[in-house]
Amino acid sequence: MANPLRRRRWILCSANNGVNVVMYKPILRRIEDDPRLRIHHTGTLSHTRQFQEEERADLNRFFSRHGVQRGVLHFRVARFMPWDVYLSPNFSQRIIPRFAKLKVQIFHGVSFKNCAIKPKSTMFDRLFLPGPYHRRKFIERGLFEEGDPRLVMTGLPKVDRLVDGSIDPAQVLLALDLDPALPTVLYAPTGDSGNSLNRHGEAIIRALLDLPINLIVKPHDHASEDPECSIDWPTRLAEWRHERLRADLGSDIVPLLAAADLLLTDASSVAFEYTLVDRPIVFFDVPEILYGQRKSKIDLDTWGRKGGEIVKTADELREVVPRLLENPGEKGEIRRAIANDLFFEPGTATDRAVRRLYEDLELELPETVKDVEAAVAG
């Protein structure tokens, strides 16, 4: 049994953007009140011009906006401090501390773009895998061997709320001043240059508003700059007045996924996350992304866009969306198969990840952690 009087354990969490904080926040909420732990946060916030400006202004302000009120360190300081655990949803090398005893990767998404299946993953001592799919991919790419103890199956903590009943969809819509009696479409494009919002957004939104639905537009919170798009979408959406249109510029999409009756996306990981609620998905075709520079990494063969219907023009939405809202069971069997492969035991991932962290820290579990099956090694 671990000695409760041993020194405190020091944990460093890192974020390059708001989505990163959303990824580790479920774990943080389970451990932040443990007096045996000292938890700090760092980041570069360098993905977009907006974040670069914010970093120069105040890193604390960024974390405060995402619910982190204390323990923020500049990465130039944090990376030279000794840590018991470094917890990261990103692969930014300049943040990784030089003296961390255990480096844990928890991933930032499960897109078919497969951005996480790369050699940088081998820098970590633990990979908290979202599900069987990622385990297979890491082994197939030769990055890890079968049975490697660094591969630990925990599930994806971010999506626990989608299946544990903690979100009331009607309350989400009422908070947005939308009518819960109407069907709701969530439009959530990817952040890559060439995404559907940048290239076809005006036509897509107008086509959807022609239908008797609520529409929530959720731009990617750290979208890459697109040289072919001249629209400032946060400003444009704020100016677009319509009683059934709302924009969400935050980083936490999970409540919106729970509230939506149909998801429209293009190449975002939210398409896979949405399979957990088993509702219709529509993919707007983005050939520049799918067959561009990342073509060699993108996996359209395993699951890709098989769980939804593909449209190539905004006009097609006027027919496809009503049909799928009337027949939500279409492709349900495929969606459920995708969810089973991408997400291990959804609803219990946070507890499983926390259990593994405490095991590695040689600490007794706090009472707040539920009794779930131990994390499965690779």
Q: Are residues 319 and 360 in the same domain?
A: no
Q: Is there a single domain that holds both residue 200 and residue 290?
A: yes
| Residue 109 sits in the same domain as residue 242 | no
pLDDT in the model for residue 9: 97
Q: Which residue has the higher pLDDT, 36 or 48?
A: 36
Domain match, 56 and 139 both: yes
Residue type present at position 94: R
- CA dist 109 and 271 (Å) reads 10
Asked whether the predicted pLDDT for residue 117 surpasses 50, the reply is yes
In the predicted model, is pLDDT for residue 50 greater than 70? no
Flag whether 289 is in a domain.
yes
359 and 289, same domain (yes or no): no
My answer on whether 258 and 329 are in the same domain is yes
108 pLDDT exceeds 60?
Answer: yes
On whether residue 313 sits in a domain, the answer given is yes
11: three-class secondary structure by DSSP: strand
Residue 141 has pLDDT above 90, yes or no: yes
Residues 315-338 have pLDDT tens digits of 999 999 999 999 999 999 999 999
- Range with the lowest mean pLDDT among 45-54, 115-124, 319-328, 349-358? 45-54
Average pLDDT, the chain: 92
- Asked if residue 20 belongs to a domain, the reply is yes
**pLDDT at residue number 5:** 45
The answer to whether residues 292 and 151 belong to one domain is: no
| Same structural domain, 334 and 217 | yes
The radius of gyration computed from the CA coordinates of the chain, to the nearest angstrom, equals 21
Indicate the SS3 state at residue 310: strand
Model pLDDT for residues 142-182, shown as the tens digit of each residue: 999 999 999 999 999 999 999 999 999 999 999 999 999 99
Domain limits for position 308? 167-342
14 and 136 both lie in a single domain = yes
If pLDDT is split at 50, 70 and 90, which confidence band does 297 have?
confident
Our count of domains for the chain comes to 2
Whether pLDDT at 35 is above 50: yes
The predicted model gives 351-363 an average pLDDT of: 96
Q: Is residue 2 part of a domain?
A: no
The predicted model gives 117-138 an average pLDDT of 96
| 190 lies in the same domain as 328 | yes
Pick 5 or 134 by higher pLDDT.
134
CB 208 within 8 A of CB 311: no
Residue 48 has pLDDT above 60, yes or no: no
Task: Indicate the pLDDT class of residue 6, thresholds 50, 70 and 90.
Answer: low
Answer whether residue 57 shows pLDDT above 60. no
Distance CA 196, CA 78 (A): 38
What is the pTM assigned to this prediction? 0.93
Q: Are residues 65 and 85 in the same domain?
A: yes
**Long-range contacts made by residues 311-316, C-beta under 8 angstroms, separation at least 24?**
311/282, 311/283, 311/284, 311/285, 312/284, 312/285, 313/200, 313/203, 314/200, 314/203, 314/204, 314/206, 314/207, 315/203, 315/207
Instruction: Tell whether 297 and 362 lie within a shared domain.
Output: no
Does 338 map to a domain?
A: yes
**Domain annotation covers residue 298:** yes
Residue 207 lies in a domain: yes
Phi, psi of 309 (to 5 degrees): -110, 140
- Average pLDDT of the segment spanning 47-60: 58
CATH number at residue 141: 3.40.50.2000
Is 89 a domain residue?
yes
Q: What is the CATH number of the domain that holds 183?
A: 3.40.50.12580
More confident residue, 5 or 341: 341
Residue 2: what pLDDT?
A: 45
Rounded to the nearest 10 degrees, the angle between the axes of helix 18-31 and helix 349-361 is 70
